[in-house]
Structure 1
Amino acid sequence: MSFTETLRRENNDIFEAIFNHRFVDGIGKGDLPHDSIAHYIKADYEYLNAFMHIYGIGISKSTNRKDIEYFNEQVGFILNSETHPHMNFCDVIGVGYDELHGYPLPPTADHYVKHMMYHAQMGGLGEILAAMLPCPWTYLEIGNHLMKKYQPTPNDTFYQWIKFYANEEFETLSNAMRQRLDELADQASETERQRMKDAFRKSCQLELKFWEMAYSCEEWPQGEGVNTK
């Protein structure tokens, strides 16, 4: 069993909880509160900006052109392709994409970004990839899960979102990250492998919490009587 196969088995509980989350299931049903969708886009746009910065740290720690090329390609994918599922959400709620940019990260998303930044700064490439992998991997499986469970057609509300993540291009992206992580894990010490496992587990947990953050429209707490204007 490869390192990433072990990671998937050890974190199956979190993957299943993600598949059954009310936001994720709402995508399949085509029924989500518009405020929750807007909150998701605001947070995910800034999250993906941070994701690209972490890819940049990966480039700075790369010792060969193959890894540099990989990280560079992933930045390009986010910039040029991963806006498409956001646009599906925007079309459903009737809000322009630009109107949902520039908002501060809610607490869970802020924690998630700083968690990945910590591992990017403190660890090597294996640790960086372990912290980042749950994002594309869970989305790939969400897309496949919803496609199988609901068998959406182009007339369904979130068909374009589901189709984007349940396709060969996105599977190739996830598998490439898995393959490189397996290679790095094979060369790592037990201590380094455990740090990779910890980073991966926490990112899985934060993926689950990200969906709940979006559905509940999570905000930073304010003290009673504080003027926030």
Structure 2
Amino acid sequence: MSFTEMLRRENNDIFEAVFNHPFVEGIGKGDVPHDSIAHYIKADYEYLNAFMHIYGVGISKSTNRKDIEYFNEQVGFVLNSETHPHQNFCDVIGVGYDELQGYPLPPTADHYVKHMMYHAQLGGLGEILAAMLPCPWTYLEIGQHLMKKYQPGPDDTFYPWIKFYADEEFDTLSHAMRNRLDEVADEASEAERQRMKDAFRKSCQLEWKFWEMAYICEEWPQWKGVNSK
């Protein structure tokens, strides 16, 4: 069993929880509250911007051109391709994509970004990959799960979103990251492998929290200070 196969098995509980989250189920059923969709796009736009910065840290820690090329390709994918599922959501709620950009990250998304950046700055290549992998991997399996369970067609509300993440191109992206993590893990010490496992599980947990954050429209608590008017 490979390192990433072990990670998937050990975190199946969280993957199943993600599949059963009401936001995710709502995508399959074609029924998600519009406020939740807008909240998701606002957070995910900034989250993906941070994701590209973390890929940049990966480039800075790469010791060969193969890894530099990989991270560079992933930045290009986020910039040029991952706007398409966002656009599907925007079309459904009738709001322009530009209108949902530039918002501060809600608490969960803020924590998720800082969790990944922590491992990127203090860890090696393995920790970077382990912290980032749950994002593409859970989305791939969400797309595949919804495609199988609901068998949506082109006329269904969220068909473009589901098809994008269930598609072979996204499957290839996820497998490339898994394969590279397996290679790094094979050369890592037991302590390094444990840090990778911890980073991976926390990111899986934060994937579930991200859906919950969007669904409930999570915001930062607000209090008026004594000098506030």
Shorter-normalised TM range: over 0.9
Give the SS at the match of 1:155: coil
The equivalent residue for 2:40 is: 40
User: Following the alignment from structure 1 to structure 2, what is the Cα–Cα distance between the partners of residues 73 and 135?
Assistant: 16
User: Following the alignment from structure 2 to structure 1, what is the Cα–Cα distance between the partners of residues 107 and 98?
Assistant: 22
User: Following the alignment from structure 2 to structure 1, what is the Cα–Cα distance between the partners of residues 54 and 32?
Assistant: 31
What amino acid maps onto 2:215 in structure 1? Y
User: Following the alignment from structure 1 to structure 2, what is the Cα–Cα distance between the partners of residues 168 and 156?
Assistant: 20
The equivalent residue for 1:64 is: 64
The equivalent residue for 1:216 is: 216
The CA RMSD measured in Å over matched residues stands at: 1.3
Residue identity over aligned pairs, in percent, reads: 89
What amino acid maps onto 2:54 in structure 1? I
The equivalent residue for 1:91 is: 91
What amino acid maps onto 2:193 in structure 1? R
Quote the offset at 1:66 in angstroms: 0.2
Give the SS at the match of 1:218: coil
The equivalent residue for 1:182 is: 182
The equivalent residue for 2:197 is: 197
User: Following the alignment from structure 1 to structure 2, what is the Cα–Cα distance between the partners of residues 104 and 145?
Assistant: 31
Give aligned pairs, total.
229
Give the SS at the match of 2:191: helix
Mapping of residues 1-229 of structure 1, within 5 Å: 1-223=1-223
What amino acid maps onto 1:178 in structure 2? R
Quote the offset at 1:223 in angstroms: 1.5
User: Following the alignment from structure 2 to structure 1, what is the Cα–Cα distance between the partners of residues 168 and 146?
Assistant: 15
Q: Quick one: structure 1 residues 19 and 227, their matched pair in 2 at CA, closer, same or farther if it must change by over 3 Å?
A: farther
User: Following the alignment from structure 1 to structure 2, what is the Cα–Cα distance between the partners of residues 30 and 227?
Assistant: 47
1:88-122 deviation per Cα after TM superposition (whole angstroms, max 9, x unaligned) = 00000000000000000000000000000000000
Specify every segment of 5 or more residues in structure 2 that has no aligned partner in the other structure, as ranges: none
User: Following the alignment from structure 2 to structure 1, what is the Cα–Cα distance between the partners of residues 228 and 25?
Assistant: 34
Runs ≥4 residues deviating over 3 A: 224-229
Give the SS at the match of 2:4: helix
User: Following the alignment from structure 2 to structure 1, what is the Cα–Cα distance between the partners of residues 167 and 54?
Assistant: 25
What amino acid maps onto 1:26 in structure 2? G
Give the SS at the match of 1:222: coil
User: Following the alignment from structure 1 to structure 2, what is the Cα–Cα distance between the partners of residues 201 and 209?
Assistant: 12
Give the SS at the match of 1:143: helix
What amino acid maps onto 1:8 in structure 2? R
User: Following the alignment from structure 2 to structure 1, what is the Cα–Cα distance between the partners of residues 111 and 81?
Assistant: 25
Give the SS at the match of 1:37: helix
What amino acid maps onto 1:189 in structure 2? S
What amino acid maps onto 2:104 in structure 1? P
Specify every segment of 5 or more residues in structure 1 that has no aligned partner in the other structure, as ranges: none
